[in-house]
């Protein structure tokens, strides 16, 4: 009988006898185009079509004016714009976001001179240049209807009022301040006049006319604005 001892196994031999584990496959996180939209980015793929953007915003604003927030849906917006729902969702993640963008885009349709453009223009000339565009805006039934819808949705959808305020009211207040400061510099308005109160009066009067049930035509709106500016000390 042999006294030979069994051969020693090395660690390599032992490892060779163990069952090999199959490497786990890494799963990439799912991309969500809604999340990218909320972050302000765009999903990968074909570049955005500006024509589709304009069609969507126009359709959204039309539907908002016709039926308000509750009477508007992504499906309706897509159908009227002639695009698919996914095309809308690639750009905005909710109906409210589309409507806010539509309200903002409508601001470009109002012809007004920005404060940065009027640094050296005499006050009388400046007012004469501003009045026609503002009068047309006041008389525009589409703008009036949009503003009425925004005010009606201000409690349930405050983001729409915030968009309107930032893009319509704030610029109007800035322009009015430029006019009043120019009037002070030219001596037609008292140096100690409370400009904030006067701005509230001028801008508030315009907004009041915009939501009245009996609209003015462009000529009537201009006459009304001249009266407001006269009371504020901007014109004689």
The encoded tokens of residue 96 equal 């409210």
Can you give the pLDDT at residue 117? Answer: 60
Cβ of 48: how many Cβ atoms within 10 Å?
13
Rounded Cα distance between 226 and 236, Å, is: 9
The pLDDT value recorded for residue 62 is 97
Give the single-character DSSP code of 193: -
The Cα–Cα gap between 230 and 124 comes to: 12
Cα atoms in the Cβ-side hemisphere of radius 13 Å centred on 4: 4
Domain-wise residue ranges, the chain = 50-101, 110-232
Distances (CA, A) of 142 to 97, 119, 206: 20, 32, 16
Fold of 110-232: Tetracycline Repressor; domain 2 (1.10.357)
User: For residues 222, 225, 230 and 231, what is the CA-based torsion angle, rounded to 10 degrees?
Assistant: 150
Q: Kindly report, residue by residue over 177-203, the tens digit of the pLDDT.
A: 989 998 998 898 999 999 999 999 999
pLDDT tens sequence across 65-115? 999 999 999 999 999 999 999 999 999 999 999 999 999 999 887 765 555
Least confident of 12-26, 99-113, 121-135, 188-202: 12-26
Identify which of 101, 106, 99 has the alpha carbon closest to the alpha carbon of residue 71.
99
Structural tokens at position 112: 């007004």
User: Quick one: pLDDT at residue 2?
Assistant: 46
- Give the mean pLDDT of 130-141: 90
- Across the chain, mean pLDDT equals 82
In the structure encoding, which two tokens stand for residue 208, read together? 């009041």
**Model pTM score:** 0.73
User: Is the predicted pLDDT of residue 119 greater than 50, yes or no?
Assistant: yes
Burial category of 40 from C-beta neighbours within 10 Å (exposed 0-12, middle 13-18, buried 19 and up): exposed
Rg, C-alpha atoms of the chain: 31
CATH entry, 50-101, from 3.50.50.60, 3.40.50.300, 1.10.10.60, 1.10.357.10: 1.10.10.60
Min mean pLDDT across 50-59, 96-105, 115-124, 126-135 is at 115-124
Residue 21 clears pLDDT 60, i.e. is over it: no
Average pLDDT, integer, range 46-66: 90
pLDDT at 141: 92
Residue of higher predicted confidence among 16 and 67: 67
pLDDT at 50: 85
For residue 46, what pLDDT band results from cuts at 50, 70 and 90?
Answer: low
User: Are the folds of 50-101 and 110-232 the same?
Assistant: no
Asked if pLDDT for residue 27 goes beyond 70, the answer is: no
Kindly tell me the burial class for residue 175, based on how many C-beta atoms sit within 10 Å of its own C-beta (0-12, 13-18, 19 or more): buried
Whole-angstrom distance, CA of residue 103 vs CA of residue 115? 22
């Amino acid at each position: 009988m042999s006294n030979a001892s069994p051969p020693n196994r090395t660690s390599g031999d032992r490892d060779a006898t163990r069952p090999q584990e199959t490497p786990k496959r890494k799963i990439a996180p799912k991309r969500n185009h809604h999340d990218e939209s909320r972050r302000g980015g765009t999903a990968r793929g074909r570049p955005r079509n500006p024509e589709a953007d304009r069609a969507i915003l126009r359709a959204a604003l039309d539907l908002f004016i016709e039926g308000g927030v509750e009477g508007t849906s992504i499906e309706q917006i897509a159908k009227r714009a002639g695009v698919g729902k996914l095309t809308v969702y690639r750009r905005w993640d909710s109906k409210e976001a589309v409507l806010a963008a539509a309200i903002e885009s409508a601001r470009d349709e109002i012809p007004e001179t920005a404060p940065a453009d009027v640094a050296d223009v005499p006050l009388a000339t400046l007012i004469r240049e501003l009045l026609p565009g503002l009068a047309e805006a006041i008389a525009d039934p589409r703008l009036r209807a949009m503003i009425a819808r925004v005010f009606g949705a201000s409690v349930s959808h405050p983001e729409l009022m915030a968009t309107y305020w930032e893009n319509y009211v704030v610029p109007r207040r800035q322009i009015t301040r430029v006019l009043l400061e120019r009037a002070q510099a030219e001596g037609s308005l008292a140096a100690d006049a409370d400009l904030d109160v006067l701005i509230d009066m001028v801008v508030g009067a315009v907004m009041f006319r915009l939501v009245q049930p009996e609209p003015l035509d462009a000529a009537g709106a201009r006459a009304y604005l001249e009266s407001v500016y006269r009371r504020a000390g901007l014109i004689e």
